């Protein structure tokens, strides 16, 4: 489950930064590589920082694995991947560049979805095909 950041409560407690570690099940429809699926949950390790104007920066990494058929030779393969998380939240509505939040709580769902989409490869290659492409 993807947690929320309760900016109001943290600000009232004079907490301006912290860390979050959690796992979540990825949406299968994010993956557009034929015969490939997510293997298990996505793990996230994030840090957040709340600024005086109630804007919040969230950075970190996500870790996940893909398994299925190699996009080149169709051999069964598995790859562990890492992606970057970098989001900036402003009170109010999203402005297209930054995420928005209302009610003093930040939902990290959209940031996690976007980060996962950017981290996905365009294809899954086995070790032999990866080595062949790099030569």
In this prediction, residue 135 carries a pLDDT of 67
Could you tell me what percentage of the chain is helix, strand and coil, using 3-state DSSP and rounding each to the nearest 5? 20, 45, 35
DSSP calls for 67-116: EEE-TTT--EEEEEEEEEEEEEEEEBS--SSSEEEBTTEEE-HHHHHHHH
Using CA atoms, how far residue 70 sits from 87, 132, 134, in Å, is 32, 13, 16
Dist. CA 29–CA 74, nearest whole Å: 21
Dist. CA 32–CA 13, nearest whole Å: 43
For the chain, residues with pLDDT lower than 70 are 134-135
Phi-psi region of 129 (alpha: psi -120 to 50; beta: other; left: phi over 0): alpha
In this prediction, residue 95 carries a pLDDT of 86
Q: Are 82 and 120 in contact (CB under 8 A)?
A: no
Q: Which two tokens stand for residue 64?
A: 């996940």
């Amino acid at each position: 489950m993807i947690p929320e950041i309760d900016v109001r409560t943290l600000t009232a407690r004079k907490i301006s930064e912290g860390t979050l570690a959690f796992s979540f099940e990825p949406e299968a429809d994010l993956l557009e590589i034929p015969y490939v699926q997510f293997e298990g949950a996505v793990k996230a390790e994030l840090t957040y920082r709340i600024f005086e104007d109630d804007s919040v920066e969230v950075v970190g990494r996500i870790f996940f694995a893909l398994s299925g058929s190699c996009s080149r030779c169709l051999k069964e393969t598995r790859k562990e991947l890492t992606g970057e998380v970098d989001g900036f939240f402003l009170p109010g509505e999203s402005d297209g560049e930054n995420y928005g939040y209302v009610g003093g709580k930040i939902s990290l769902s959209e940031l996690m979805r976007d980060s996962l989409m950017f981290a996905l490869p365009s294809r899954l290659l086995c070790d032999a095909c990866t080595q062949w492409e790099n030569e």
